[in-house]
Chain A
Amino acid sequence: MDARVRALETLLVRKGLVDPAAIDAIVETYETRVGPRNGARVVAKAWADPAFAAWLREDATAAIASLGYSGRQGEHMRAVFNGDGMHNLVVCTLCSCYPWSVLGLPPVWYKSPPYRSRAVIDPRGVLAEFGLELPAETAIRVWDSTAELRYLVVPERPAGTAGWDEERLAGPASRGAMTGPARPAGRGAAGTVRTTWAGSWGSGRSRPGAPSRISMPPGKSARSA
Chain B
Amino acid sequence: MTLAAGAMGAWTLDESRHMRECLHPADYYSSSYYEIWIKALERLLARHGFVGAAELETGEASPGGTAPKRVLKAADVPAVLARGGPCDRPVEAAPRFAVGQTVRARNMHPTGHTRLPRYVRGRTGTVEAVHGGFVLPDSNAHGGGESPQRLYTVVFAGRELWGEAADPALSVSVDAWESYLEPA
Contact = CB atoms under 8 A, between A and B. Distances in A.
Do the two shown chains form a genuine complex with each other? yes
Interface stretch (A52-60, A72-80, A158-166, A181-189): A72-80
Interface residues of A, number: 64
Contact of A149 (B116, B151, B170, B172): B151
Nearest to A69: B82
Contact of B32 (A101, A144, A148, A206): A206
Contacts of A15: 50-51, 61, 65
B85 A124 contact: no
Interface stretch (A17-25, A42-50, A167-175, A191-199): A17-25
B72 interface: yes
Interface string B1-21: 101110110000000010011
B97 to A, nearest CB: 15
A147 B72 contact: no
Contact of B77 (A26, A123, A216): A26
A142 interface: yes
A34 B61 CA distance: 34
Interface in B116-134: 116-117, 119, 131, 134
A72 B81 CA distance: 5
A96 B33 contact: yes
Interface residues of B, number: 65
A223 B79 CA distance: 30
Nearest to B4: A18
A70 B84 contact: yes
A10 interface: yes
Contacts of B68: 16-17
Contacts of B83: 71-72
Contact of A146 (B86, B115, B169, B170): B115
Given A75-B85, A141-B171, A144-B172, A202 B134 contact: no
A93 B84 contact: no
A8 B175 contact: no
A10 B55 CA distance: 11
A14 B61 contact: yes
Contacts of A139: 169-171
A13 B76 CA distance: 17
Given A94-B117, A214-B32, A75 B51 contact: no
Interface string A87-131: 000000111100001000000100101000000111110000000
B1 A11 contact: no
Contacts of B172: 120, 141-142, 144
A205 B29 CA distance: 13
Interface in B57-100: 59-61, 65, 68, 71-74, 76-78, 81-88
B146 interface: no
A144 B77 CA distance: 30
Given A8-B42, A23-B4, A137 B88 contact: no
Give the 8 A-B residue pairs with the shortest CB-CB distance, closest first: A147-B175, A21-B74, A205-B32, A25-B77, A72-B84, A7-B59, A14-B61, A214-B34
17 contacts: A8-B1, A8-B38, A12-B1, A15-B51, A16-B68, A19-B73, A22-B72, A26-B3, A121-B166, A140-B167, A141-B173, A146-B176, A147-B115, A147-B176, A149-B175, A206-B32, A214-B34
Given A25-B74, A139-B171, A147-B87, 13 more contacts: A17-B5, A18-B72, A19-B71, A22-B72, A72-B3, A75-B88, A95-B21, A142-B171, A144-B172, A147-B175, A147-B176, A148-B87, A216-B34
Interface of B: 1, 3-5, 7-8, 17, 20-21, 29, 32-35, 38, 41-42, 45, 50-51, 55-56, 59-61, 65, 68, 71-74, 76-78, 81-88, 115-117, 119, 131, 134-135, 151, 153, 155, 161-162, 166-167, 169-177
